[in-house]
Amino acid sequence: MRLAAFYAAACFAALAGLSAVQLGWQPEFVAVWDSRSRLYLNGLFAIPAFLFALALSDAVPTSRLPERLRSFPGALIFLGPVFLMVGIVELSPLSDSAEIRHELTRSTAYGLATGLLVGLIYAIWPPKKDGDAPKEGLRHGLVIGMAVAAMVVLLLLLMQTRPRDDGKFEESVRFGTSEAQLVVGTYSAVLGGGRYGTLRIRQGEAQNLLIMEGAEWQTLVEVWRKAQAAQSTSWRVVGEAHDTAPSEHAKISLAAGRGVRFTIQSRNSPTVSYQLAPSDMAAFDAAMTSIEPSLNN
């Protein structure tokens, strides 16, 4: 039980650290604060949280339970924190207390429900026992060693002085004036994380941005083509597309009229709109089409 208590405390501390990062904590030991540092700092807490949750599920004594029920505690104890991590990653520095409660409650509920399902599956079809499995002491030593090693490596990376790395935006085409702009381009993520399509709208001081994978971009292109073909003297919404960036979940809606009106909405950024003139539609279509083949799917 002491080992289980240690894993529970360590997992809780790691989840608390991950929450602090998502809510805007920027520790002083980080030499360069950029997108790469945020990834490293998330890993500093997420990797130990995952490993300690896995070890905790194995350390909790279940020998007194009926054999058919022994899989339930481990499944619940492991999947609860794992799904909780997913909810924590959805948070941002702009999240209020109501949003924090909603995300954490929802993700924990999903984790417990999935744990019950997994426990039921193992109760009906128990896995075969592996006679060559490592001894208990060795297993726990490996878990703790991997967690410590990951934390040491990430701490060293966070303390290293280097050039900033916030990914790279490349602009393909820009429409509008200094007061209102629509910009289409691409974003190359940090650490070789892939290439994404971007669509940014700025109205005065307010702006919002979509960062979309290939399949999401293809959906946007399809909605755009519908709007392009639905020109009329009155405005009507023809469809919308979404991105899947954690903590934002931005969506764009397109309305057709004399031109196309783009409106981007998201959880933590202002709602902004831009009306593309009919004379600019051919250039916009060319940019959308040229970007699509280079994106991650």
Q: What is the secondary structure of 156-173 as a DSSP string?
A: HHHT--------EEEEEE
Sign, Cα dihedral of 53, 244, 158, 31:
negative
Which residues are registered as beta bridge partners of 260?
Answer: 256, 276
Distance between CA atoms of residues 183 and 208, nearest Å: 11
Strands 259-265 and 251-257: antiparallel
* pTM summary value: 0.78
Residue 168's nearest CA partner among 191, 148, 145, 147 is 191
- Is residue 169 within 8 A of residue 207, CB to CB? The reply is no
For residue 121, the Cα-to-chain-centroid distance in whole angstroms is 29
Distance between CA atoms of residues 235 and 258, nearest Å: 8
Residues 6+ apart with CB under 8 A from 279: none
CB atoms within 10 A of CB 136: 11
What pLDDT, on a 0 to 100 scale, did the predictor assign at position 37? 93
> CA geometry: angle at 86 spanning 29 and 38, to 5°?
25
Structure tokens at 46: 């997420």
Strands 195-203 and 251-257: unpaired
Looking from the CA of 228 toward its CB, the CA atoms found within 13 Å total 15
What pLDDT, on a 0 to 100 scale, did the predictor assign at position 3? 86
2-22 helix and 71-89 helix, angle to the nearest 10 degrees: 20
Distance between CA atoms of residues 274 and 184, nearest Å: 12
Run means of pLDDT, 10 residues per run, the chain, 297 residues: 89 96 92 92 96 90 82 92 93 87 94 93 74 65 92 95 88 92 92 85 92 91 94 94 74 94 89 95 94 82
Distance between CA atoms of residues 215 and 244, nearest Å: 11
Question: Residue 185: left (phi > 0), alpha (psi -120 to 50), or beta?
Answer: beta
